[in-house]
A and B are shown apart, each in its own frame.
Chain A
Amino acid sequence: MNGSTSRRAAFTVPSFFGLVPFAAYILLFLGLPTAIALFTGFLDGTGSFSLTNIEALADPVILSTFGNSIGLSALTAVIGSVVGAACCYALIGTNPTGLLRSVVDSASGVLAQFGGVMLAFAFVATIGIQGMVTVYLRDSLGINIFANGVWLYELPGLVLPYIYFQVPLMIITFLPALEGLKPQWAEANASLGGSRATYWWRIGIPVLTPSFLGCLLLLFANAFSSFATAAALTSQGSQIVPLQIRSALTSETVLGRENLAGALALGMIVVMVVVMTLYSLLMKRSAKWQR
């Protein structure tokens, strides 16, 4: 055995231990909480195994909450992805390091990822009872947007704030796919006599469809798991699943069950895993064109 191999062997043992802090950290603060969240749904109030909480997921109240969550997420994901994709299209050909793109990137990042509670405030200031737009429409155009009651603090009120963070997320996630469109394809199209329309119908849209659907799913997942905006906006009731989890955590009387939060968390995870698995399949498919 020469010097270098023995040194290498001596280097390998401690380097393995170098992975321990990260592994322990992930286990304690990601693995363990997730496991607890998933398994408490299977325990009753005394800590023994039971399926009653899981059965509660079939309760009409819970089912309609999941329905609300899925409907809200689907609606805002579709609107967000279409509007966001249009913005991405409009950004094709702009200088990636230019001022316009920097501002769009940063603003999108803020609104998509860090807004939360603050977006709720923004919409209270915009279309709240004394909001800027509400007051303008009422005083100048005589339109009362709350003629049929104040909807901002209920389920319909979440649609606009959610779109407000979905469109920027679409811009952030879909733009790289558009940048993956190779100029050679456009040249090939042109040299074969294709027009702009031919390019988009025969090349652009088919190539981009998997990415677009993937981003649509990601937007769905994003809205589905979002809590802060809804929590800050809705004062009463638990119209969507994350709010239902909050009331299950802070009081123990939701449908008269304990550990319901665990069952709800399990339900959310199931939806998220399905959506994210489809997402990664679509992303694999779209990666085919991005080499």
Chain B
Amino acid sequence: MIEPRPLTRWLILGTVGLVFLVPIVAMGEFTLRRGLEGGYDFSRWIAVFSGGLTGEYKGVLTALGNSVVLATVTVAVMLVILVPTMILVQLRFPYLRRAMEFLCLLPITIPAIVLVVGLAPVYSVVAKMFGSGVWTLSFAYGVIVLPYAYRAIQANLAAIDVITLSEAARSLGAGWLTVLVRVLLPNLRHGILSASFISVAVVLGEYTIAALLNRVNLQTALVIVSKSDPFVAVIFALLALIFAFLLLLAIGRIGAPRIKRSLTGASS
């Protein structure tokens, strides 16, 4: 009754799908072009991957390294600060759940470009305390991944009975550390894995904060490279998009809660 007729379904999905494929195909076509004489080959891809580590693309690879560091530290910040707090709120402070949700979803309302206006002075202090290493940016990234990570973990938390699990463990004589590490974290692994993957994807795609705080990450490097060698920028962008796609596909496949759709779907 409410399902569309097969013809309607495939007409809509086919048309939109094809149109949305065009820019991706165009990126591929763009990178395969052979200079002025026309035709296609893989020379640009070969150039990037053969001489890449030392050659002229070293800058992009360094930036990619920076982004990997940022992604790792951001996931660590999230695991160390967000996950224990969410468990604690679930167990001990159920009346703080709404407040916690509000705080964690707040970064959706505050655009990164607004946040960066206030982050600039904060980071001049951070640089004095921790140096100006690129990893310090992870503190800001921890905030922008908050809504995504929160939704992923909360969906998992809601699906398991944290209170019964922890009381069962404690009545068997487990200390709180044992409860956390051996009982709760294994039960939350899907949520935590999804949260980590989605955080990695967010950090790899982040441009705004890095650009305006004058840090180098993958996206800022790509913008700079695109001015001199647009082909290389498009190659890396295509690879990054495919990588993010595979990350998200993996989240769906590990049978985790469907975080992407619940991110903004049911916030009431």
* Cβ–Cβ < 8 Å partners of A36 in chain B: 117-118, 121-122
Contact with B along A64-98 (1 / 0, CB 8 A): 00000000000000000001001101111100110
* Cβ–Cβ < 8 Å partners of A106 in chain B: 245-246, 248-249, 251-252
**Is B48 an interface residue, CB under 8 A from the partner?**
no
In the complex, the chain A residue whose C-beta lies closest to that of B10 is A90
Chain A nearest CB from B76 CB (Å) reads 13
Given A107-B245, A116-B219, A227-B111, check contact A283 B116 (CB 8 Å).
no
Alpha-carbon gap, A287 to B267, bound state (A): 9
Contact with B along A31-44 (1 / 0, CB 8 A): 01111111010000
Contact with A along B188-203 (1 / 0, CB 8 A): 0000000000100110
Q: Which of A21, A116, A177, A245 contacts B205 (CB 8 A)?
A: A116
Q: A113 contacts B201, CB within 8 Å?
A: yes
Given A32-B122, A114-B244, check contact A284 B268 (CB 8 Å).
yes
**Is B163 an interface residue, CB under 8 A from the partner?**
no
Q: A86 contacts B23, CB within 8 Å?
A: no
Q: B2 contacts A265, CB within 8 Å?
A: no
Chain B nearest CB from A31 CB (Å) reads 9
Q: A125 contacts B30, CB within 8 Å?
A: yes
Given A30-B143, A115-B241, A176-B262, check contact A19 B115 (CB 8 Å).
no
Q: B248 contacts A19, CB within 8 Å?
A: no
**Is B75 an interface residue, CB under 8 A from the partner?**
no
Alpha-carbon gap, A34 to B191, bound state (A): 29
Chain B, range 93-136, C-beta contacts under 8 Å to A:
93, 96, 103, 106-122
Q: How many residues of B contact A (CB 8 A)?
A: 95
Q: B113 contacts A246, CB within 8 Å?
A: yes
Q: Is the interface of B mostly helix, strand, loop or mixed?
A: helix
Alpha-carbon gap, A32 to B261, bound state (A): 30
Chain B nearest CB from A137 CB (Å) reads 12
**Is A63 an interface residue, CB under 8 A from the partner?**
no
In the complex, the chain A residue whose C-beta lies closest to that of B204 is A114
Q: B211 contacts A172, CB within 8 Å?
A: no
Q: Which of B16, B84, B198 contacts A167 (CB 8 A)?
A: B16
Q: Which of A37, A86, A105, A224 contacts B117 (CB 8 A)?
A: A37
**Is B212 an interface residue, CB under 8 A from the partner?**
yes
**Is B234 an interface residue, CB under 8 A from the partner?**
yes
Q: Which listed segment binds A: B49-57, B58-66, B222-230?
A: B222-230
* Cβ–Cβ < 8 Å partners of B103 in chain A: 26, 30
In the complex, the chain B residue whose C-beta lies closest to that of A249 is B212
Q: A262 contacts B117, CB within 8 Å?
A: yes
Q: A269 contacts B2, CB within 8 Å?
A: no
**Is B39 an interface residue, CB under 8 A from the partner?**
no
Q: A89 contacts B113, CB within 8 Å?
A: no
Given A113-B202, A272-B111, A283-B267, check contact A15 B88 (CB 8 Å).
yes
Q: A12 contacts B263, CB within 8 Å?
A: no
**Is B85 an interface residue, CB under 8 A from the partner?**
yes
Contact with B along A214-246 (1 / 0, CB 8 A): 000010010011111001100000000010011
Q: B252 contacts A276, CB within 8 Å?
A: no
User: Which A residues lie at the B interface, using CB under 8 A?
Assistant: 11-12, 15, 18-19, 21-22, 25-26, 28-30, 32-38, 40, 83, 86-87, 89-93, 96-97, 102-103, 105-111, 113-119, 121-126, 131-133, 164, 167-168, 172-177, 181, 183, 186-187, 189-190, 196, 199-200, 204, 218, 221, 224-228, 231-232, 242, 245-246, 249-250, 261-262, 265, 268-269, 272-273, 276, 280, 283-284, 286-287, 290
User: Which B residues lie at the A interface, using CB under 8 A?
Assistant: 1-4, 8-10, 12-13, 16, 20, 22-27, 29-30, 77, 80-82, 84-85, 88-89, 91-93, 96, 103, 106-122, 139-140, 142-143, 146, 148, 176, 198, 201-202, 204-208, 211-212, 219, 222-223, 226, 230, 233-234, 237-238, 240-241, 244-246, 248-249, 251-253, 258, 260-268
Top-10 shortest CB links A-B = A33-B118, A225-B111, A114-B205, A36-B118, A37-B118, A176-B265, A93-B3, A125-B30, A22-B85, A106-B248
- A22-B85, A132-B22, A249-B116 given; name 17 further pairs at CB < 8 Å: A18-B92, A22-B81, A25-B81, A29-B143, A30-B115, A36-B118, A92-B2, A106-B249, A117-B222, A118-B238, A126-B26, A232-B223, A246-B212, A249-B212, A265-B113, A273-B109, A287-B268
